[in-house]
């Protein structure tokens, strides 16, 4: 009876009290509240929203539904980064070992790609043998030894969110800001963090393309962090074009390895450094952003960040030789250059279309249970604003067969728009949000 009453109340714009969230979620996890009632409630929340106290109660109850890491014995700060997801976003693969090498522990719980966006777990699993399913005691041991563990949400962590997120995915109720905020924060708070950095993507390739929606999500998540004594800093970054050049699992791991060797594309390095500087300051390993950047320079140029990634790969069962020899990563059977059909300027490199092309090649999933092919994807070298001449290379397609090459080439021709002029792209990093407010990010 409780669930029906709450659905009706939320449908009519009313509030759900903390004790009611507790009873509802307990019933959902133990199966006495059926999926259809929870789906109806999610849809009511989608339209009616949640106020600050309701988001706080939902987050706290989803967090309390499972286990949490206790990392208080670590002698260093514990900081993670969460991205709202995009195309070509391999930042986590570079950032986690880099920040760990600079003296902050990074318990990085990541997700899989869904829809047009990629996921860190799928990228890591492109490394032969890499295990992302780690029991929590192994996560703790690895953090003690290497300062970093890269793993996925298990049944033990926020099971109420795990069940509800799968349901929201199937009922078109993911895109609700309070539900997204509660879902992400219930998992992040289970990591026992002393700080969290958010990378909120804006632009056509992000989940929440509009600036005001990204800022709203940032503010709610910062408030939820504060409720649990976890400072949160958010950067708003551009996803109106892919980040870096590689899009596709093994191709992105290779680009991340190049970045760890100090040879990454400029946009990837800039976003990585900006997020890394926030993490090092929040984690107490650097007094300010300048000091943090100097630390990261030393770790990258001395090869120590790459060596740390190698050690993490080895600890999680993967083949560490990929760091010295990325050719050991899965290789696509076929590849082909896509060239400019005319002289002009690159007006647009549309990330959503590129992400969908990677999925269609087999490199992503339309449904959670789909398998992914780690070898396929695209490498886009054309950037918005570039001048190109007919016949010059724009991108390369990596596919399983000739049909994949044909389909990928066609998709890239649609996604990379050549014209006579280009609109200015979004600033790569536009805003910084903290509990003190929103500021423009310096160029």
Footprint on this chain of ligand URA (rule: CB under 6 A): 111, 165, 174, 179-180, 183-184
- Which member of 187, 245, 295, 356 is catalytic? 187
Nearest residue to ligand URA, by Cβ distance, number only:
183
- Which member of 82, 90, 241, 431 is catalytic? 82
- Which member of 183, 186, 299, 430 is catalytic? 183
**CB closer to ligand URA, 85 vs 384:** 85
**CB closer to ligand URA, 38 vs 395:** 38
Rounded Cα distance, 412 and 249, in Å: 18
Is 325 among the residues known to form the active site? no
- Neighbouring CB atoms inside 10 A of 284's CB total 14
**CB 373 to ligand URA: min, Å:** 23
**CB 183 to ligand URA: min, Å:** 3
**CB 118 to ligand URA: min, Å:** 13
Name the E strands within 203-239.
Answer: 232-238
**CB closer to ligand URA, 58 vs 361:** 58
CB-count exposure of residue 390 (10 Å: 0-12, 13-18, 19+): exposed
Rounded Cα distance, 207 and 233, in Å: 19
Is 169 among the residues known to form the active site? no
Looking at 12-125, list the stretches that DSSP marks H as alpha helix, in order from N- to C-terminal side: 18-30, 35-48, 52-64, 91-101, 120-124
**CB 7 to ligand URA: min, Å:** 20
- Which member of 168, 245, 295, 432 is catalytic? 168
- Which member of 80, 89, 161, 240 is catalytic? 161
Is 187 among the residues known to form the active site? yes
Q: Are 192 and 93 in contact (CB under 8 A)?
A: no
**CB 216 to ligand URA: min, Å:** 14
Q: Count Cβ neighbours within 10 Å for each residue of 342-367 and write b for 16 or more, e otherwise.
A: eebebbbbbbbbbbbbbbbbbbbbee
**CB closer to ligand URA, 130 vs 165:** 165
Is 290 among the residues known to form the active site? no
**CB closer to ligand URA, 97 vs 111:** 111
Rounded Cα distance, 346 and 422, in Å: 7
Look at residues 28, 51, 52, 49 and name the one whose alpha carbon lies nearest to residue 167.
28
Is 82 among the residues known to form the active site? yes
Rounded Cα distance, 236 and 199, in Å: 6
Catalytic machinery residues: 82, 161, 168, 183, 187
């Amino acid at each position: 009876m409780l669930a029906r009453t709450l659905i009706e109340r939320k449908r009519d714009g009313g509030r759900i009290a903390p004790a009611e969230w507790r009873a509802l979620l307990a019933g959902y996890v133990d199966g006495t509240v059926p999926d259809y009632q929870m789906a109806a409630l999610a849809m009511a929340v989608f339209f009616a929203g949640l106020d600050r106290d309701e988001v706080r109660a939902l987050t706290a109850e989803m967090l309390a539904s499972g286990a949490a890491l206790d990392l208080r014995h670590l002698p260093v700060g514990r900081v993670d980064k969460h991205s709202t997801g995009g195309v070509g976003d391999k930042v986590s693969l570079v950032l986690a070992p880099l920040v760990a090498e600079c003296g902050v522990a990074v318990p990085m719980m990541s997700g899989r790609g869904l829809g047009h966006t990629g996921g860190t777990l799928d990228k890591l699993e492109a490394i032969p043998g890499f295990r992302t399913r780690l029991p929590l005691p192994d996560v703790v041991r690895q953090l003690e030894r290497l300062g970093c563990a890269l793993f996925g949400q298990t049944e033990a962590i926020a099971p109420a969110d795990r069940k509800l997120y799968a349901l929201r995915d199937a009922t078109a109720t993911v895109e609700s800001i309070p539900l997204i905020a509660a879902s992400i924060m219930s998992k992040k708070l289970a990591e026992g963090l002393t700080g969290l950095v958010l990378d909120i993507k804006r632009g056509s390739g992000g989940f929440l393309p509009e600036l005001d929606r990204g800022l709203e999500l940032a503010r709610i998540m910062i408030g939820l962090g504060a409720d649990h004594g976890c400072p949160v800093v958010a950067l708003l970054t551009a996803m109106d074009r892919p980040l870096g050049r590689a899009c596709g699992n093994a191709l992105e791991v290779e680009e991340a390895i190049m970045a760890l060797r100090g040879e990454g594309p400029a946009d990837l390095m800039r976003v990585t450094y900006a997020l890394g500087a926030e993490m090092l300051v929040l984690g107490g390993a650097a007094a300010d952003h300048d000091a943090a950047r100097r630390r990261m320079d030393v770790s990258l140029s001395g090869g120590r960040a790459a060596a740390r990634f190698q050690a993490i790969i080895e600890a999680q069962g993967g083949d560490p030789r990929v760091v010295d020899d990325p050719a050991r990563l899965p290789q696509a059977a076929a590849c082909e250059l896509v060239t400019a059909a005319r002289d002009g300027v690159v007006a647009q490199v549309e990330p959503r279309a590129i992400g969908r092309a990677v999925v269609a090649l087999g490199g992503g999933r339309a449904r959670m249970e789909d398998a992914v092919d780690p070898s396929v994807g695209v490498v886009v070298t054309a950037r918005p604003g570039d001048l190109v001449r007919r016949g010059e290379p724009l991108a390369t397609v990596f596919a399983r067969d000739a049909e994949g090459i044909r389909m990928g080439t066609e998709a890239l021709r649609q996604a990379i728009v050549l014209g006579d002029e280009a609109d200015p792209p979004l600033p790569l990093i536009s805003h910084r949000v903290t509990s003190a407010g929103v500021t423009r990010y310096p160029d």
